[in-house]
Structure 1
Amino acid sequence: MVRWRALIILIYVLIGIYVAWVHGYITAGFLRSLAEALLAVFLWFLVLLGVDLHIGK
């Protein structure tokens, strides 16, 4: 029962991401900024050492 619930939630979230992408709420720039933020959060010690975690340009 728990697996079905998790699968339904996963499908719901994936469809939501797709709809948001198609309607312009999620863009490549947003994804790049999100990835940079997540890298900075999980690799904060590298940021303190002066490593640049910016992606792309």
Structure 2
Amino acid sequence: KGVTRKGIDAMIFMSQGFTCKEIGEMYGTSANSVSAWVSKARKALKLDAEFMRAISEPIT
């Protein structure tokens, strides 16, 4: 998996209450690496016009 995908996965786990440390243990890496993945994923998503448009639309 790419770093952005890992970051998105980590954000999903975080929304379910997992910590960076716990996520790192799942992936066999450090909490700092997980934080870096999340940071890179957030930046990538902010630059994705389709994603930003989708999250800006009201939920119906």
Instruction: State TM-score, norm by structure 1.
Output: 0.40
TM-score by length of 2: 0.39
Q: Which has the larger radius of gyration?
A: 1
